[in-house]
Amino acid sequence: MIRIGVSGAAGRMGRTVIETATEREDVAVVLAIDAADVETVADKPAHDPADVPALLSTHEPDAIVDFSVPDATVSLADACADAGVPLVTGTTGMTDNQVADLKAASEDVPILKAANFARGIQALLETVRAAACALPGYDVELTETHHNRKQDAPSGTATTILDALAEERDFEETYGREGMQPRQEGEVGVHVRRAGDVRGEHEIMFAGNDEVLTLTHRAEDRGVFAAGALDAAVWLDGRDQGLYTFGDVIEG
Ligand code: NAD
């Protein structure tokens, strides 16, 4: 069993991670961290992020699982690097500089960063690469839908899907269309919807030659992300320093 701390513990994902962990025998939550003004989360005392360096040495977690906000994740990564505590983060919306900071911290400690901890998304990425190879010249459009409180757009998962596509073909992204804006050859349209409590839906369409292939992934419960993040924390235990992906976990 590994002992984990949860950062962003009072958030939608943080609470789900804690709930999911209580149903498993390979992880135990020993530390909850959140900037929100709450005393407890799921019966655990909620700690101030300002105290993270001290908390890491008093609670001695084997890993931190983080679903918070980009600035918090960068500070947390620095503290984890100093304390030698591995970090799993699912926080999205990071700038290139913030990702570079995370990479720098991963020179001292193992860090696993994933925009999506659903296993189905890993299969989708493989399928997108295969479809891009098999369907050269087909028009590609990507649509993602998330709940109405999501901050960043397009989603980190949409960006990951575009990265997978870019491994197989060159394209320019077009974010939405308005007015007289005909499709340009080779462009990929990216469309963002925010509504209700949708956990996360990604659809990629390949169209051409009188046929349409549509690949869709839908997360139906946040538990799927929490389970993947906890699997990642278990997998990260005992690894060398470095920046890992969820794909590394799936490949074993
Ligand atoms: P949320 O707003 O419900 O929760 C974020 C929490 O972070 C809040 O409770 C907030 O108080 C807390 N926070 C703010 N500053 C903090 C700090 N300095 N230290 C610790 N906690 C702090 O958001 P959410 O829906 O739980 O999503 C959180 C992040 O996870 C987002 O970036 C989201 O896109 C991402 N996400 C990733 C996956 C995945 O599979 N990788 C899945 C779902 C959500």
Has residue 82 got a pLDDT over 90?
yes
Has residue 216 got a pLDDT over 90?
yes
Mean pLDDT of 10-36: 97
Rounded to two decimals, the pTM is: 0.93
Model pLDDT for residues 116-167, shown as the tens digit of each residue: 999 999 999 999 999 999 999 999 999 999 999 999 999 999 999 999 999 9
Banded model confidence at residue 15, pLDDT cuts 50, 70, 90: very high
44 is catalytic: no
Has residue 201 got a pLDDT over 90?
yes
Q: Which of 7, 13, 41 is the pocket-test mutation for ligand 1 (most atoms within 8 Å of CB)?
A: 13
Banded model confidence at residue 8, pLDDT cuts 50, 70, 90: very high
Mean pLDDT of 10-28: 97
Model pLDDT for residues 161-192, shown as the tens digit of each residue: 999 999 999 999 999 999 999 999 999 999 99
Mean pLDDT of 213-220: 97
Assess whether the previous peptide bond of 70 is cis (omega < 30° from 0): no
Cβ of 114 closer than 6 Å to ligand 1, yes or no, is yes
CATH architecture of 119-218: 2-Layer Sandwich (3.30)
CA distances from 44 to 12, 35, 53, 139, 223 (A): 16, 14, 19, 50, 19
Q: How many CB atoms lie within 10 A of CB 82?
A: 15
CA distances from 66 to 70, 97, 121, 146, 191 (A): 10, 19, 19, 20, 27
Distance from C-alpha of 144 to C-alpha of 214, rounded to nearest angstrom = 13
Per the model's pLDDT, the better-predicted residue between 208 and 252 turns out to be 208
Domain ranges of the chain: 2-117+222-251, 119-218
Q: For 2-117+222-251, which CATH superfamily applies?
A: NAD(P)-binding Rossmann-like Domain (3.40.50.720)
Q: Which of 40, 68, 111, 224 is the pocket-test mutation for ligand 1 (most atoms within 8 Å of CB)?
A: 68
Has residue 252 got a pLDDT over 90?
no
Instruction: Select which of 150, 191, 202, 217 is catalytic.
Output: 150
C-beta separation of 138 from 177 below 8 A? no
Cβ of 88 closer than 6 Å to ligand 1, yes or no, is no
146 is catalytic: yes
CA nearest to 150, candidates 95, 194, 202:
194
Sequential DSSP letters for the chain: -EEEEEETTTSHHHHHHHHHHHT-SSEEEEEEE-SSS-SEETTEEEEPGGGHHHHHHHH--SEEEE-S-HHHHHHHHHHHHHHT--EEE------HHHHHHHHHHTTTSEEEE-S---HHHHHHHHHHHHHHHHSTT-EEEEEEEE-TT--SSS-HHHHHHHHHHHTT---EEEE---SS-PPPTTEEEEEEEE-TT---EEEEEEEETTEEEEEEEE---THHHHHHHHHHHHHHTTPPSEEE-HHHHHH-
Sign of CA dihedral 200, 99, 128, 191: positive
Has residue 29 got a pLDDT over 90?
yes
Cβ of 112 closer than 6 Å to ligand 1, yes or no, is no
